[in-house]
Amino acid sequence: MKSLRWKKGWYAFFTGFFIAAFSSQLFGQTEFDEATLKGAKREGKINYYGAPDLGIALAPVFNLFNQRYGVEMNFTGGRGRENYDRILAEQRAGRYVADIMSTGPTTMSDLKWRGVLVSHRPPNLKHTPEEFRDPDNILIPVYLNIYGLLVNTSLVKRGEEPKSWKDLLDPKWKGRILADDPRGAGGGNTWFIVTYKTLGGPFLAELAKQNLQFRPQYLENEKSLARGEFPVYLPALAGAIARLKGAPVKWITPSEGVAYIAISQGLVKNTPHPNAAKIWANFQIGDEAQKALGERGNTPVRADVPVPHPELLLKGKKLLGTTTEDDLKQGAKIRKFTEQIFFAK
Amino acid sequence: MIKPLPPPADQSWKILRLLQTINLSHSLMTFTLLIVGFLTLYPVMMLLFGSVRSAPPGDAGNFTLEAYTEAYSDYSTYTILLNSLVISCVKTILALLLGGFFAWVVTRTDTPYPRLLEVLITLPFFIPPILTAVAWAMLANPTTGIINKFLMSLFGLESPPFNIYSYGGIVWHMTHYSTAFVFLLIIGAFRAMDPSLEEASHASGASGLKTFFRITLPLMLPAFMGAAILTFIRGVEAFESALFFGLPAKIFVFTTEIYSSLVHRTPPDYARAMALAVTLMAITFILVLTQRRMMGGKEYFTITGKGYRPQVVKLGLWKWTTFGFCLAYFTVAVVLPISQLILSSFFMIFGLYDLKMITLANYQQAFSDPTFWRALRNSLLLAIGGAGLCMFLSAIIAYITFKTKFWGRAVLDHCSWVPWTVPGMVLALGMLWAYILLPGPVVLYGTFWILLIAYLTLGLPIGVRSMAGTIVQISPDLEECSLVHGATWWQTFVRIYLALLRPGFTAGLMLLFFLFMRELSASVLLYSPGNEVLSVTILKYWEAGRSEVVSVIALVMLAVVLLFRVGETWLLRTKPSVAMT
């Protein structure tokens, strides 16, 4: 009788253990304690400031997040600078609205230096590669931008594509290269800094003589190339392949390597919904959100999440380099050089 | 029809009544001045304060003139300013010629289908410039532009005849919008003008042309001056055309330089942006003073107590030429770019017309997005409510400025210009700072009301100008007559002025409605989740690289605008603009 009771006890213990383990896998809730989960539900919503394309990429998982945690997502889509202005104004006035912010390293690092973001280490961070993590645990990486070249295959014959960044100095490309504006935050700026560090200022000065055609919106630039307005576009995101499916385009990894950056998120100081923000920060680097990002053409920061296009993978590509916080602190100097060689008035 | 009040019983009652009138009107004027001062000066003061500080408002910093020194010690600042002035000047002249001509054709000639033409001519004003910019880049770019390809094959040309990425391209794109804008601003004044003056000129033997230059044009001067100044200022402040078509051609203007201070510098250089914007404020201030001086001492009363019937100029067979000219403008400014939007809304990639890429997914995406429906509702609420409130406030301001001897009338007039003296993106920042740092218990930031306040502020220059163009034409005899008959100042304002101002009021109302429907610069900084507006939703999709979905939303916006335009013209048809006996 006693052994039977003992056995039942063991059964109950193991059953409970497996149910708990299973449900944790299924619902991903064990990463947070009861108080955080209840707190998030009580808060009921989260105000997320991010790039509009991120909002569209993640839209399918916003509902999932709501169903799972009872937290409604209020996504405020805006350019990095606009969200930056909003958050700084909110912090100065003590009228806190934003819970979480996400954008590129230039703006995020600036917010970090200003003390607007707080340190937080979500449980899923352990799945992200060490090299993209912030030692201060303030900037939490979400996805990667990989920059190479995009060519229009209707205008450029096979075998005649530029194979390296230096190939662009060939006179045949003069006036035919579409480029993202390198001033301010964005892909053009990242590429410019990385190229300046690796290929050097003289290379950029030579490139400037090719009369690059700058346009302000990188996602529209991809389409201009697809329509045949230009044969080459730089720096092109690898994700262009996903967005321009069916168009006559080819993404190229230049022989010198690709430039890349991590787009990160950060929890805002004095957030009105701290528990919900913590859970979202973790959810965004969870399986579902990372997969959704990959499908829209963003490289998930987690290497273990499959992507629909090989171009999106960073692994296996030669790397030209990335920007560091030190580079970003040299912003004014770099901007002056850019304006001097590309935008002399 | 104003009913005369019964004669007063005794003199003391009359004096009391007069005192009440004076008190009420002065209180109202002072109150109006305070409101307008808060709406316009408060955000600008925040910006000016920010321009002489080493840190934005709210942050610890020192007073410094470094931003001014940096901006104005650079020679290129003056070259860029000259670029802005020349481009704006050229496009203002073109817009005045075209807009003035179209307004005359529609209101004062027997050109067929005037109401249809009126709707068609104004449409370019309502299409977001960024969309028409993309469409024109496809139509007239030097490599694959559809128009260039067509003309090259038709005439066997070796090089493309058009390059949209040029000074000409910038002016071309800006002129479409500005022509419709001028047309909307002056059509009220054209309608409100008593044709008996022209008839008198004709009866005295003057030719049509002489009458136009000696009678019509001088009488239209207030409206034309207002429209010219607004168009010029809008030209100097214009941003999208210069950014889109100027950047590839390395053409820089003042606003792209301000934009560069905010967007191309990390952290944004607010002080430099404002230091540059001060020049635009000074230019506008000078223009307003010039206008006032030019108008000073002249009378433009064409609306008097005498009744009249609108009369049109018979053009004979020329009416079909004028009709064709209006249609040609509509085709170039609307049909060509809009056809690109319609086509692109059915394709997976904007402008890539491959049959394999036909889809309805863009419509599905737009219509299944709850934000879109919420934004549509909010935009309509703000556009209708905001335009109504703004026009009412504008009517009071215009009345005080042009029809009273109130001590603060010049200040009021200048205040009403202020929102247009500062580029939209800079003013939006001022509003954000102003309302978020607003002392006291009232919290505006994060609410729907902050958008309404911002819209009221932004609408004042247009509202006051469209009222001013008409109000100066009203003879003071009517007001005196009303007061003599015992009506109060308020009764006179409502029953005489507002009734007579209806053409200008309606034109201004519609202008503001459409302006608010597409307002972006302030909305994008001041909206909060749940309070999205259509322009912000468009920007969201645009920034997300979904210009195909943007096309869908823009088409919905156009449909709404068209509906309201048709409604407006129908209302004006059933109830004539000015009818007094």
Spatial distance between the Cα atoms of A55 and A270, rounded to a whole number of angstroms: 23
Asked if residue B580 belongs to a domain, the reply is no
Domain count, chain A: 2
Q: Do A227 and B144 touch (CB under 8 A)?
A: yes
DSSP state of B10: S
d(CA B141, CA B234): 25
Q: What DSSP designation does B332 have?
A: I
Integer-rounded Cα radius of gyration of chain B? 25
CA distance B471 to A68: 61
Q: Give yes or no for B440 touching A (CB within 8 A).
A: no
Domain assignment of residue A5, yes or no: no
Whether residues B58 and A56 touch (CB distance < 8 A) is answered with: no
Q: Is residue B377 part of a domain?
A: yes
Asked whether residue B5 is assigned to any structural domain, the reply reads no
Angle of the B167-192 helix axis to the B217-237 helix axis, nearest 10: 140
CB neighbours of residue B523 within 10 Å? 27
pLDDT of residue B58: 67
Give residue for tokens 């092109």.
A236
Which residue of chain B is at minimal alpha-carbon distance from A176? B143
Q: Inter-chain contact A345–B80, Cβ cutoff 8 Å?
A: yes
**Same domain as A187, residue A103:** no
Tokens found for residue B169: 């391209």
Residues A267, A127 share a domain? yes
Residues written for chain B: 581
The residue whose two tokens read 């301010």 is: A184
Q: Do A247 and A151 belong to one domain?
A: yes
Are A228 and B260 in contact (CB < 8 Å)? no
Amino acid at B304: T
Q: Is residue A293 part of a domain?
A: yes
In this complex, the residue of A82, A183, A224 whose CB is nearest that of residue B260 is A183
Q: Are A255 and A277 in a shared domain?
A: no
Does A206 share its domain with A325?
Answer: yes
Show which of residues 88-107 on chain A sit within 8 Å of chain B, judged by CB atoms.
88-90, 92-93, 95, 97, 106-107
**B63/A124 Cα distance (integer angstroms):** 46
Residues of B in contact with A229 (CB under 8 A): 137, 141, 143-144
Supply B505's token pair: 């009021």
For the packed helices B129-140 and B336-344, what is the interaxial angle rounded to 10 degrees?
100
Q: Could you tell me if residue A165 is inside a domain?
A: yes
DSSP string for residues in B391-437:
HHHHHHHHHHHHH---TTHHHHHHHHHHHHHS-HHHHHHHHHHHHHS
Dihedrals φ, ψ of A178, to 5°?
A: -90, 140
CB atoms within 10 A of CB A1: 5
How many domains does chain B fold into?
Answer: 1
Interface of B with A in 484-513 (CB under 8 A): none
pLDDT score for B581: 22
| Strand partners for A73 | A46
Closest CA to B509 of B188, B150, B233: B188
- What burial class does residue A320 get, using C-beta atoms within 10 Å of its C-beta: 0-12 exposed, 13-18 middle, 19+ buried? buried
Q: Is residue B44 part of a domain?
A: yes
Interchain proximity B446–A97, CB inside 8 Å: yes
The CA distance from B432 to B568, in Å, is 34
Cβ contacts (< 8 Å) between B432 and chain A: which residues? 85-86, 89
Classify residue B92: in a domain, yes or no: yes
Is residue B3 domain-resident? Answer: no
Cβ distance of A77 and B544 shorter than 8 Å? yes
What ipTM, to 2 d.p.?
Answer: 0.78
Beta-bridge mates of residue B445: none
Q: A141 with A262: CB under 8 angstroms? A: yes
Q: In this structure, how many other beta carbons lie within 10 angstroms of the beta carbon of residue B495?
A: 16
Q: What predicted TM-score, i.e. pTM, was given to this entire model?
A: 0.78
Cα dihedral A172/A176/A180/A184 (nearest 10)? 80
Look up the domain containing B285 and give its range.
Answer: 15-574
Note whether B544 contacts A223, CB cutoff 8 Å.
no
Q: What is the DSSP letter of B462?
A: H
User: Cα separation of B69 and B54, whole Å?
Assistant: 13
So what's the pLDDT on residue B1? 39
Stretch 186-215 of chain A: residues touching chain B, C-beta under 8 Å? 213-215
Looking at residue A103, which CATH number applies to its domain? 3.40.190.10
Hunting for tokens 């991809």 — which residue is that? A222
Query: By the 8 A CB rule, do B236 and B280 touch?
Result: yes
* CA A145/CA A285 separation, integer angstroms: 15
Phi, psi for B99 (deg, rounded to 5): -60, -45
Q: Is B25 in contact with B405 (CB distance < 8 Å)?
A: no
With a CB cutoff of 8 Å and minimum separation 6, the contacts of A244 are A222, A223, A226, B349
pLDDT of amino acid B579: 29
Interchain pair B547, A345: CB under 8 A: no
Q: From CA A197, how far away is CA A322, in angstroms rounded? A: 10
Residue A19: inside a domain? no
Each residue's pLDDT expressed in tens, for chain A with a length of 345 residues? 555 566 666 666 566 555 544 444 444 445 788 899 999 999 999 999 998 888 888 988 999 999 999 999 999 888 777 888 889 888 888 889 999 999 988 889 989 999 999 999 999 999 999 999 999 999 999 999 999 999 999 999 999 999 999 999 999 999 999 999 888 778 888 999 999 999 999 999 999 999 999 887 888 899 999 999 899 999 999 999 998 988 999 999 999 999 999 999 999 999 999 999 999 999 999 999 999 999 888 999 999 999 999 999 998 899 999 988 788 777 778 878 888 898 876
Residue A94 CA neighbour count, 13 Å, CB half: 2
Claim to verify: residue A105 and residue A166 sit in the same structural domain: no
Query: Has residue A13 been placed in a domain?
Result: no
Per-residue HEC secondary structure of chain A comes to CHHHHHHHHHHHHHHHHHHHHHHHHHHCCCCCCHHHHHHHHHHCEEEEEECHHHHHHHHHHHHHHHHHHCCEEEEEECCHHHHHHHHHHHHHHCCCCCCEEEECHHHHHHHHHCCCEECCCCHHHHHCCHHHCCCCCCCEEEEEEEEEEEEECCCCCCCCCCCCCHHHHCHHHCCCEEEECCCCCCHHHHHHHHHHHHCCHHHHHHHHCCCCEEECCHHHHHHHHHHCCCCEEEEEECCHHHHCCCCCEEEECCCCCEEEEEEEEEEECCCCCHHHHHHHHHHCCCHHHHHHHHHCCCEECCCCCCCCCHHHCCCCCCEEECCCHHHHHCHHHHHHHHHHHHCCC
Q: Collapsing DSSP states into helix, strand and coil, what is residue B250?
A: coil
Domain annotation covers residue B288: yes
Give me the DSSP letters along B341-361: HHHHTTBSSTT---GGGB-SH
From residue A326, how far is each of A105, A193, A330 by CA, in Å?
Answer: 11, 11, 7
Question: What residues have CB less than 8 Å from B504, skipping those under 6 apart?
Answer: B188, B189, B192, B466, B467, B469, B470, B471
Contacts of B539 in chain A (CB under 8 A): 52, 77
| Alpha carbon distance B547, B352 (integer Å) | 12
**B297: which DSSP letter?**
T
Per-position pLDDT tens, chain B of length 581: 334 444 444 555 555 555 555 555 778 888 889 999 999 999 999 888 888 888 776 677 788 898 899 889 988 899 999 999 999 999 999 999 999 999 989 988 889 999 889 888 988 887 778 778 878 888 888 888 889 989 999 998 888 999 999 999 999 999 998 999 899 888 877 877 767 777 788 788 887 778 777 887 787 887 788 789 888 988 887 877 888 888 888 898 988 888 888 777 777 788 888 888 888 888 877 887 777 676 654 544 444 445 555 567 788 888 999 999 999 999 999 999 999 889 889 999 888 888 888 999 999 999 998 889 999 999 999 999 999 999 989 988 988 888 787 888 888 888 888 887 777 777 888 888 888 877 777 778 778 898 999 999 999 988 888 788 777 777 777 777 877 777 777 777 777 777 777 777 887 888 898 888 888 778 877 888 788 898 888 878 877 888 899 889 988 988 888 888 777 767 666 443 332 22
Cα A9 from Cα A12, distance rounded (Å): 5
User: Would residue B581 count as lying in a domain?
Assistant: no
For residue A6, being part of any structural domain is answered with no
Q: What is the CATH number of the domain that holds B98?
A: 1.10.3720.10
Q: Is the dihedral of CA B468, B470, B476, B480 positive or negative?
A: negative
Alpha helices in B159-216 (DSSP H): 167-192, 196-203, 208-211
pLDDT (0 to 100) of residue B216: 76
Q: Which of B543, B414, B539, B389 is nearest to B468 (CA)?
A: B414
Residues A303 and A185 in one domain: no
Q: Do A224 and A320 belong to one domain?
A: yes
Looking at residue A100, its pLDDT comes to 96
Alpha-carbon distance B253 to nearest alpha carbon in chain A (angstroms):
10
Is residue A235 reached through a cis peptide bond, with omega within 30 degrees of 0 on the bond before it? yes
> What percentage of chain B's residues is helix, strand, coil (to nearest 5)?
75, 0, 25
Spatial separation of the C-alpha atoms in residues B505 and B359, rounded to whole Å: 43
Task: Judge whether B131 and B548 are in contact, CB under 8 Å.
Answer: no
Q: Report how many Cβ contacts below 8 Å link chain A to chain B.
A: 154
Half-sphere exposure of B539 (CA within 13 A, CB side): 22
Q: Of A56, A88, A183, which has the smallest distance from its Cβ to B546's Cβ?
A: A56
Evaluate whether residue A10 is within a structural domain.
no
Give residue A154's domain range. Answer: 145-260+316-342
Chain A neighbors of B525, CB-CB under 8 A: 82, 85-86
3-state secondary structure of B205: coil
Chain B positions touching A93 (Cβ under 8 A) are 58, 436-437, 445
Q: How many CA atoms lie within 13 A of B543 on its CB side?
A: 23
Q: Measured on CA atoms in the order B169, B174, B176, B182, is the torsion positive or negative? A: negative
Nearest partner of B528 among A72, A335, A214, A49, judged by Cα:
A49
